[in-house]
Structure 1
């Protein structure tokens, strides 16, 4: 299994692309238009969610400490009486400038079982923006796939950080090995579901005596794999063989 390595430059580059794409999608929608991939949300709710996330990152990512900030949840409502798009513009620009200026290894709190470094937030900002850019574009039914390498990094984040951190939204009673293949990158992951937990298996180092036979194989473009586990696409968008129900153990949205 080929290792994927992302860097600050990679995540900043993704943020510079995905943020403007999100903003461009807003131009085609009324503030109260529904967001089909986020039930009960309007476009303004989506703006508030993402803009609030940026604002919140900026309050703590540069503190240089690993203790939690006072406010553990970002405000996600656009203030009354302001233009939502202009409000988002300010927050995106500020967050981008902050993240451009921060070092990956700067100590920084995060709520996951991951290194307490600013790199966590560089990655999370890029991935969070990419998925919600897709949501914004889906309001007009013309969403573009997430760039393949960015999507693969998103799958890695899901498997090595978010799901181990308890962010799963699927069933937690699944057992067995799941094999995922990103067909556009020739990259694969093997994941052992353990009920409440999971383990990534590296086929280059796994012991031959350890049974790593996959009970289900899901293949598709990296973007489709990522969006399926985030609940944006159905598993029927993938080529699946074996025990399809195990895929539910990897859902995060």
Structure 2
């Protein structure tokens, strides 16, 4: 899958901005608890994201999933120093690889380094919000990035063949529509499938709508819906959100 140069530049800019903000918030205090990730502190967030960056740097370098993983000694590093070092390194690795280098990804359709441009930008945005929540200093996710993130979580993480064995605690049987900033996704769910289609065709059991930042963070469990952001079967919406959470574990 070819990633246009202007889109690659956009993802890199978002990655750099959000990682800088995450470092800034980390310096407000590492021990603050993260309400969106039970048992985590801001230090946990920084170490997690740094380890994710290192994993993707190695995957791009060797063109395969790193094994064994993780490397030894990371827990001994200063969290702020480690994060600052790795946030620069992931940008350098992506720039050096470009967008067409064959590598391991978890996407069935995109096995190029370009995949990691978007994924790392979105990973960073979500965890930047985690750290901000810990200090009650939340800032919005870039609107275009959040809209792209809605598409990623629905089409890549929720959609696909992952449910064929009925391996879910939330076998919701419903059709849900997500609408934000002029785009819609219609999701047909049952115990063994999750089919995601772009557009607003057909009848649905429930619809969720709102600004990209709100919907993106709700899908990732970092934001609650307000009373006027959904219509239809409330129980189906709750079960849909729980199914999304399963797909991102």
Q: TM-score, normalised by structure 1?
A: 0.83
After the TM superposition, list the runs of 4 or more consecutive aligned residues in structure 1 that deviate by more than 4 angstroms.
Answer: 73-78
**Gaps (5+ residues) in structure 1?**
207-211
Cα offsets for 1:87-134 (capped at 9, x unmatched): 111111111111122222221111233321112211110000000001
How far is the alpha carbon of 1:77 from its aligned partner?
8.3
Select which of 168, 182, 187 maps to 2:183.
Answer: 187
Change in 2 beyond 3 A, CA 1:171/1:9:
farther
Cα offsets for 1:48-98 (capped at 9, x unmatched): 1000111111111133x4x43323x54698522x32111111111111111
Distance 2:227 2:18 in 1: 23
Aligned to 2:65: 68
| Residue 142 in structure 1 maps to residue 137 in structure 2 | yes
Q: Tell me which protein shows more helix as a share of its residues.
A: 2
Aligned to 1:111: 106
| Residue 41 in structure 1 maps to residue 40 in structure 2 | yes
The alignment partner of 2:138 has SS state of: coil
Cα offsets for 1:2-57 (capped at 9, x unmatched): xxx9821221121011111111111211x222112111011211111000111111
Aligned to 1:178: 176
Alignment of 1:160-171 (within 5 A): 160-164=155-159, 166=162, 171=169
Change in 2 beyond 3 A, CA 1:97/1:157:
same
The alignment partner of 1:98 has SS state of: helix
Aligned to 1:225: 215
Distance 1:174 1:249 in 2: 7
How far is the alpha carbon of 1:135 from its aligned partner?
0.7
Cα offsets for 1:119-171 (capped at 9, x unmatched): 2211110000000001111111121121111011111111111123649x985
| Residue 90 in structure 1 maps to residue 85 in structure 2 | yes
Distance 1:223 1:237 in 2: 16
**Deviates most, 118-127 or 238-247:** 238-247
User: CA-atom RMSD, angstroms?
Assistant: 2.6
Change in 2 beyond 3 A, CA 1:244/1:77:
farther
Distance 1:22 1:226 in 2: 18
Distance 1:53 1:23 in 2: 15
Change in 2 beyond 3 A, CA 1:243/1:75:
farther
Alignment of 1:11-26 (within 5 A): 11-26=11-26
Change in 2 beyond 3 A, CA 1:244/1:21:
same
Q: TM-score, normalised by structure 2?
A: 0.84
Change in 2 beyond 3 A, CA 1:238/1:76:
farther
